[in-house]
Amino acid sequence: MFKTLKASIGSLALIISLIFSTYAQSNQQFSLGQAIEYALKNNTQILNAEIENKISKSKVNEFLADGLPQINASLDMGRNLEIQRAFVPENAFNPIGDPNAVTALGFGVPNLSVANIRLEQMLFDGSFFIGLKAARTYTELSRKEHVKSKIGVIELVSKAYYSVLINYKMSDLVTKNYDRLKELLDDTELLNENGFAEKIDVDRVKVQFNNAKVEYDHFQKLLGYSEMLLKYQMGLELDVPITLTDDIESVDLEYQLERPANFNFDNRIEYSSLLTQQELNQIDLSNTRAQFYPKLNLYANYGGNIGTLHTADMFAVGDWYSYSTIGINAKWNLFDGFRKKNQSQQKKYLATQIENNIDTAKGAIELEIEQSVNGYNKNIDNMNSQKENMELAKGVYETTKIKYKEGVGSNSEVLDADAALKQAQTNYYNALYEVLVSKVELQKALGELYK
């Protein structure tokens, strides 16, 4: 019997260890930095931006192919069902023919075949080299768009991560509020049974207790939703359980409290992208002008042909006649109806638009930094005030509770103090979340969210 019991205990221990092992493997832990790192590798928006970056690099190689030798081969095999006639004077081949008459003669054979290999090499094309530079600049623009996507994902993940941390704390508060009211309800019911409290006092506490229970259930769902939102932003499967390892109280809230004196606008990826677009437009304008220059190509042909009366003879190797040519081809568009002139004018107008956008972007960035700094400072002040209010409300609740237990206070005073404490705690953590969000927004405004 003891052996059987020992074996059962051993099996149970093994099962429990396997369960905990499976949970440890499935539950993933993330600090904020780890959550961001995971998102930068798995978020769909980032993955698509990486693909766009690869596409832009491939386009550079595609454009580069135009400057490499081009080799084409062709084979033409045909049969003349009816040979075309040529018209000549009748005495051209017949001395006694009528010089005033015309005769129709068929020149050629029924079967003709031509095989050809042609090589072309670009010698000079001004638009090609400028276009190659444009393609590489476009790759740089694509890279900056990739960075812009990363910044957006980092912002969303950071805010979602902080939201979960705050909800952890809020869940804690809701639980403690539930426990406080449960204790108060038990005490009030006991006092009522002993004749020291009225039934209305019990009912008053019970109303608050029931509301706390509903709030507790609701908040558990809200916490689950905030975790799902974080996992979605990270690109993590929604059914994977996660644990956040950062503590909201240990987050460094001391950041940039004043606008930096020498802010570099290039730190903002939006501004940097506009400069790249400006460069692209200048390259495009140069490309349009380069099309006025001639284009030179080297070419070489080598081939052979054969003509036969019978189809089977077309495949006779020894009867083919070879030919070859080599030369330089020059093309120069002397007049295009002022097409390129108008294209150049359009690109000059576009350059003016881009310059206007750059000036507007600088003003918008200046305003965003100013608003972010002011908002961050305001939220810091508000958080400190709410923290003080929370401590005061906690002291009031403790004092009121002691007075109630000693019989010199009413339970309505305890309920009011409890509600005030709960509101003060909620206000503090809401203010703390606003500080964390405004810190992320300030980092983004200063171009320091992703480096």
Give the separation between CA 451 and CA 437, rounded to whole angstroms.
19
Q: Where are the domains of the chain?
A: 30-68+125-294+337-445, 71-123+295-331
pLDDT value of position 130: 81
Cα–Cα distances in angstroms (integers) from residue 16 to residues 23, 29, 66, in the given order:
11, 21, 67
The pLDDT assigned to 205 comes to 82
Helix (H, G, I), strand (E, B) or coil at 41: helix
Element (H or E) spanning 377, and its range? helix 339-405
- Structure-block tokens of residue 254: 């001391």
Instruction: Please give the pLDDT value at position 128.
Output: 79
User: What is the structure's pLDDT at 255?
Assistant: 64
- 30-68+125-294+337-445 under CATH 3.40.30.10, yes or no: no
The per-residue pLDDT for 13 is 46
Cα gap 422→428, rounded to integer Å: 10
DSSP 262: T
**Cα distance between residue 391 and residue 384, in whole Å:** 11
Q: Are 49 and 149 in contact (CB under 8 A)?
A: yes
CATH number of this structure's domain 71-123+295-331, picked from the four choices 3.40.50, 2.20.200, 1.10.357, 1.20.5: 2.20.200
Strands 111-124 and 295-308: antiparallel
d(CA 249, CA 420): 22
Give pLDDT tens digits along the chain (451 positions): 444 444 444 454 454 454 444 444 478 999 999 999 999 999 988 889 888 888 888 888 877 777 888 999 999 888 888 888 888 887 777 777 777 888 887 778 888 888 999 999 888 777 777 877 888 888 888 888 889 999 999 999 999 999 999 999 988 888 888 888 888 888 888 878 877 778 887 888 888 888 888 888 888 888 889 999 999 999 999 999 999 999 887 787 776 566 777 888 988 999 999 999 998 888 888 888 877 788 888 989 999 888 887 777 777 766 788 889 999 988 887 777 787 788 788 888 988 999 999 999 999 999 999 999 999 999 999 999 999 999 999 999 899 988 877 777 787 888 889 889 989 999 999 999 999 999 999 999 999 888 7
Distance CA 399, CA 420 (A): 13
* pLDDT of amino acid 360: 93
CB 375 within 8 A of CB 257: no
Three-state SS at 228: helix
End-to-end CA distance of the chain: 68
As a whole number of angstroms, the distance between CA 290 and CA 129 comes to 10
What pLDDT score does 440 carry? 93
Identify the pLDDT of residue 261: 75
The two structure tokens encoding residue 196: 């020291």
Answer yes or no: are the C-beta atoms of 261 and 440 closer than 8 Å.
no
Backbone angles phi, psi at 48, to 5 degrees: -65, -35
